Structure 1
Amino acid sequence: MDAASEALKKHREWQGKLETVNKMPIETADDLSIAYTPGVAAPCLEIARDPSLSYVYTGRGHTIAVISDGSAVLGLGNIGPEAGMPVMEGKCVLFKALSGLDAVPLVLDTQDTDRLVDVISALAPSFGGINLEDIAAPRCFEVERRLKEQLDIPVFHDDQHGTAIVVSAALENALKLAKKENPRIVINGAGSAGCAIARLLLDRGQKDVILVDRQGILTPDMELTSGQRALIDRLNPSGRTGTLQDALAGADVLIGVSAGHIVSQDMIRSMNEKPIVFAMANPTPEIEPEDAAAAGAYIIGTGRSDHPNQINNLLAFPGIFKGALDAGATEINDAMKQAAVSAISSCIPEEDLRPDHIIVSALTPGVADRVARAVAQAAVQSGVVRHA
Structure 2
Amino acid sequence: MAAEIVNPRSDNGPDEGSREELFDPAFALHRGGKMAVQATVPVRDRDDLSLAYTPGVAKVCSAIAEQPELVHDYTWKSQVVAVVTDGSAVLGLGDIGPEASLPVMEGKAILFKQFGGVDAVPIALDCREVDEIVDTVARLAPSFGGINLEDISAPRCFEVERRLQERVDIPVFHDDQHGTAVVTLAALRNAAQLTGRTLGELRAVISGAGAAGVAIARILVEAGIGDVAVCDRKGIVSGDREDLTDVKRELAGFTNKAGLTGPLETALDGADVFIGVSGGTVPESAVAKMAKNALIFAMANPTPEIHPDVAHKYAAVVATGRSDYPNQINNVLAFPGIFAGALQVRASRITEGMKLAAAEALAAVVADELSADCVIPSPFDERVAPAVTAAVAAAARADGVARR
TM range (shorter): over 0.9
SS at 2:256 equivalent: coil
Listed as ranges, the gaps of 5+ residues in structure 1 are: none
Superimposed CA distance per residue, residues 109-153 of structure 1 (whole angstroms, 9 cap, x where no aligned partner): 011100000000000000000000011111011010011111110
Give the whole-Å Cα distance in 1 for the aligned partners of 2:163 and 2:177.
16
User: 2:84 touches 2:150 (CA, 8 Å); kept in 1?
Assistant: yes
User: 2:299 touches 2:319 (CA, 8 Å); kept in 1?
Assistant: yes
Shift of the 12–385 alpha-carbon distance from structure 1 to 2, 3 Å rule, reads closer
- Asked if 1:29 corresponds to 2:46, the answer is yes
Q: State the one-letter code of the partner of 1:252.
A: D
Which of 253, 268, 280 aligns to 1:233? It is 253
Q: State the one-letter code of the partner of 1:353.
A: L
Give the whole-Å Cα distance in 1 for the aligned partners of 2:101 and 2:269.
38
Give the whole-Å Cα distance in 2 for the aligned partners of 1:40 and 1:372.
32
SS at 2:349 equivalent: coil
Number of aligned residue pairs: 382
The corresponding residue for 1:242 is: 262
**310-319 or 177-186, which moves further after superposition?**
177-186
User: 1:138 touches 1:226 (CA, 8 Å); kept in 2?
Assistant: no
SS at 2:182 equivalent: helix
The corresponding residue for 1:51 is: 68
Q: State the one-letter code of the partner of 2:154.
A: A
SS at 2:204 equivalent: strand
Q: CA RMSD in A?
A: 1.6
Q: State the one-letter code of the partner of 2:254.
A: R
The corresponding residue for 1:368 is: 385
Shift of the 161–7 alpha-carbon distance from structure 1 to 2, 3 Å rule, reads farther
The corresponding residue for 1:331 is: 349
- Asked if 1:316 corresponds to 2:334, the answer is yes
What's the CA shift for 1:12? 4.4
TM-score (norm 1): 0.95
What's the CA shift for 1:180? 3.1
What's the CA shift for 1:232? 1.1
Superimposed CA distance per residue, residues 131-187 of structure 1 (whole angstroms, 9 cap, x where no aligned partner): 000111110110100111111101100011111110000001111112234111000
- Asked if 1:190 corresponds to 2:229, the answer is no
Give the whole-Å Cα distance in 1 for the aligned partners of 2:238 and 2:151.
27
Q: State the one-letter code of the partner of 1:346.
A: A
What's the CA shift for 1:8? 3.2
Shift of the 120–301 alpha-carbon distance from structure 1 to 2, 3 Å rule, reads same
1:376-387 matches, within 5 Å, as 376-387=393-404
Give the whole-Å Cα distance in 2 for the aligned partners of 1:298 and 1:12.
40
TM-score (norm 2): 0.92
- Asked if 1:40 corresponds to 2:57, the answer is yes
What's the CA shift for 1:20? 1.1
Which of 100, 103, 108 aligns to 1:91? It is 108
What's the CA shift for 1:207? 2.8
1:158-307 matches, within 5 Å, as 158-181=175-198, 182-222=201-241, 223-260=243-280, 262-293=281-312, 295-307=313-325
Give the whole-Å Cα distance in 2 for the aligned partners of 1:358 and 1:60.
36
What's the CA shift for 1:264? 2.0
Give the whole-Å Cα distance in 1 for the aligned partners of 2:225 and 2:314.
24
SS at 1:301 equivalent: strand
Q: State the one-letter code of the partner of 1:308.
A: P
What's the CA shift for 1:381? 1.5
What's the CA shift for 1:240? 1.2
Q: State the one-letter code of the partner of 2:134.
A: V
Give the whole-Å Cα distance in 2 for the aligned partners of 1:225 and 1:178.
36
Which of 133, 153, 175 aligns to 1:136? It is 153
Give the whole-Å Cα distance in 2 for the aligned partners of 1:85 and 1:12.
11
What's the CA shift for 1:291? 2.0
The corresponding residue for 1:114 is: 131
SS at 2:374 equivalent: coil
User: 1:302 touches 1:310 (CA, 8 Å); kept in 2?
Assistant: yes
SS at 2:56 equivalent: coil
Shift of the 12–335 alpha-carbon distance from structure 1 to 2, 3 Å rule, reads closer
User: 2:230 touches 2:255 (CA, 8 Å); kept in 1?
Assistant: yes
User: 1:117 touches 1:147 (CA, 8 Å); kept in 2?
Assistant: yes
Shift of the 299–9 alpha-carbon distance from structure 1 to 2, 3 Å rule, reads same
SS at 2:84 equivalent: strand
Listed as ranges, the gaps of 5+ residues in structure 2 are: 1-20
What's the CA shift for 1:70? 0.5
- Asked if 1:358 corresponds to 2:378, the answer is no
Give the whole-Å Cα distance in 2 for the aligned partners of 1:338 and 1:4.
46
What's the CA shift for 1:314? 0.6
Shift of the 302–9 alpha-carbon distance from structure 1 to 2, 3 Å rule, reads same
Q: State the one-letter code of the partner of 1:49.
A: E
